């Protein structure tokens, strides 16, 4: 069965600092990997996705993620965090048929 | 604009009452999903449907029921058998077409509070 682990429940960074959110997955085949962002009381918005090709993928809002098959990881990064990035971030592994398994999420707090 | 509409956004009910959450999409997507979200537990799959008149249980289906009579609609009923129904419920859709890259499209969610 597929699974996703986000080791960090809560991360606090200063505005302008760099950010890395960790994600490890377990999946039997080549995974479809996603990062979603959720503002309080809202639905999830797709930040970026990986399903093949270049292992460094670019997303919206200046985010990027790197797929490392040897480490079963798909970490999310941003070089300079803005206060508006404060939200909850979910890593997910998906099947081509559409079912997705989500991690428990990482809450990002941005200090002024 | 195309999207997924969930209603109501907030719902309060007494224990023992069934409630139905609405999910409508105009994206012409084939598959639809219901997830439950609790603090610190991420999203857990309740039910999903890949075609009209067919649906499958997810990981936490007990105490819930669904129907899929139209492609656009996938309502979720939270029954009195659900032991802890207070949660945030998210509906999502997925285009079952070749070349899709697997991401889900989400509604804005419905928050159910049982008093």
CB contact under 8 A, A51 and B108: no
Q: Which two tokens stand for residue B17?
A: 């009452």
Q: Is the pLDDT of residue A9 over 90?
A: yes
Q: Is residue A69 helix, strand or coil?
A: helix
The number of beta carbons lying within 10 Å of the beta carbon of residue A50 is 22
Question: Chain A residues with CB inside 8 Å of B90's CB?
Answer: 43-44
Is some CB atom of chain A closer than 8 A to the CB atom of B99? no
For residue B35, pLDDT beyond 90: yes
Residue B39 has pLDDT above 80, yes or no: yes
Does the pLDDT value for residue A13 go beyond 70?
Answer: yes
Distance, in Å, from the CA atom of A74 to the CA atom of A65, rounded to the nearest integer, reads: 6
Query: What is the three-class DSSP state of A105?
Result: coil
- pLDDT tens per residue, range A30-88: 788 999 999 988 999 999 999 888 889 999 999 999 999 999 999 999 999 999 999 99
Rounded percentage of chain B residues whose pLDDT exceeds 70: 94
Contacts of B21 in chain A (CB under 8 A): none
* Cβ pair A43:B40 closer than 8 A: no
Question: What CA–CA distance (Å, rounded) separates B29 from B37?
Answer: 23
Token pair in block for residue B61: 């289906």
CA pair distance B109, B106, nearest whole angstrom: 8
CA distance A37 to A46: 7
């Amino acid at each position: 069965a597929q699974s996703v682990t986000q080791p960090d429940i809560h991360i606090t960074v200063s505005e302008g600092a760099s950010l890395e959110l960790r994600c490890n997955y377990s999946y039997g085949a080549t995974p479809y990997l996603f990062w979603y962002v959720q503002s309080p009381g809202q639905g999830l918005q797709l930040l970026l996705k990986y399903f093949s090709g270049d292992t460094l993928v670019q997303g919206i809002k200046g985010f990027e993620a790197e797929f490392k098959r040897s480490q079963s990881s798909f970490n999310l990064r941003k070089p300079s965090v803005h206060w508006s990035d404060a939200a909850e971030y979910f890593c997910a592994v998906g099947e081509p048929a559409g079912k997705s398994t989500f991690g428990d999420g990482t809450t990002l707090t941005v200090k002024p | 604009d195309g999207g997924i509409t969930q209603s109501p956004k907030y719902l309060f009910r007494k224990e023992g009452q069934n409630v139905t959450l609405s999910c409508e999409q105009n994206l012409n997507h084939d598959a639809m999903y219901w997830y439950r979200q609790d603090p610190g537990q991420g999203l857990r799959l309740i039910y999903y449907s890949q075609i009209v008149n067919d649906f499958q249980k997810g990981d936490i289906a007990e105490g819930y029921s669904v129907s899929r009579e139209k492609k656009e609609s996938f309502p979720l009923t939270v029954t009195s058998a659900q032991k802890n129904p207070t949660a945030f419920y998210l509906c999502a859709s997925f285009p079952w077409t070749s070349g899709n890259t697997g991401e889900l499209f989400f509604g804005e969610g419905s928050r159910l509070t049982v008093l």
